[in-house]
Amino acid sequence: KKNTKIFKAEHLPTGKFFALKEVEAKTIEKLNEYKEEAVQLVKVKNHPNIIQTYGYYFYETNYNTFRLAIVTEFIDDTTNLERVFRKRQQKGPYWKEEELE
């Protein structure tokens, strides 16, 4: 989506990195639509073919638009996705949700 930006975010207490996907919505109705998509992603836990989603939050900007921020697992250019999925299948959960609190 062209109204989406993705950032690399560091969780300061743990030093771990996450991807932060921000989606801009011009109306509260569109924001709620995006929120429903995020809720469905959060419900999927430890699926080997889906990047882990940890949570989301939303806020109003100074420009009368709304933003939904979705916190997901960060995979950098040096990480082989296939290796991550294999590791996840062998060892169970790859991340713990508590890391975000």
CATH number of the domain to which 39 belongs:
3.30.200.20
Strand 53-60 vs strand 4-11: parallel, antiparallel, or unpaired? unpaired
Residues 6+ apart with CB under 8 A from 55: 42, 70, 71, 97, 100
Of 75, 77, 32, 83, nearest to 52 (Cα)? 75
54-93 pLDDT tens trace: 888 888 888 878 888 889 888 876 666 666 666 666 555 5
What is the percentage of the chain residues whose pLDDT exceeds 70?
69
Q: Among 9-13, 17-21, 73-77, whose mean pLDDT is lowest?
A: 73-77
Domain that holds residue 93: 4-100
pLDDT reported for residue 90? 59
| Other CB atoms within 10 A of residue 88 CB | 18
- Please report the pLDDT score of residue 29 as a whole number: 85
Domain tally for the chain?
Answer: 1
Instruction: Say how many residues make up the chain.
Output: 101
- Which H/E stretch holds residue 14? none
